[in-house]
């Protein structure tokens, strides 16, 4: 970690906590809990994928990564996921 990262960390952490506080005030505790749970689930899935890549040949998973699990688009803002 460099000096820029050490200075930036408390600012980002403070902004995140303030954002969560105001999100709880506006959306309610249950909605924010679902968001945090989904965030942790996506992070955990990425972590498990990284572990599998370390222990298993990466070519086995290349075909899975090339296909879309969820495929939708929003034409109004030209968003394709």
Instruction: Return the bridge partners of 80, or none.
Output: 73
Chain segment 23-50, per-residue pLDDT in tens? 999 999 898 899 899 999 988 988 888 8
**pLDDT the model gives residue 64:** 66
pLDDT of 68 > 90? The answer is: no
Contact status, residue 24 vs residue 32, Cβ threshold 8 Å:
yes
Contact 61, 51 (CB under 8 A): no
How does residue 81 score in pLDDT terms, banded at 50, 70 and 90?
low
Q: Residue 11 class from Cβ within 10 Å (0-12 exposed, 13-18 middle, 19+ buried)?
A: exposed
């Amino acid at each position: 970690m460099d000096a820029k990262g050490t200075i930036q960390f408390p600012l980002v952490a403070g902004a995140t906590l303030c954002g969560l506080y105001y999100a709880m005030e506006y959306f309610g505790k249950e909605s924010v809990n679902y968001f945090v749970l989904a965030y942790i689930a996506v992070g955990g899935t990425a972590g498990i994928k990284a572990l599998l890549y370390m222990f298993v040949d990466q070519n086995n998973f290349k075909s899975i990564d090339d296909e879309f699990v969820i495929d939708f688009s929003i034409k109004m803002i030209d968003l394709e996921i």
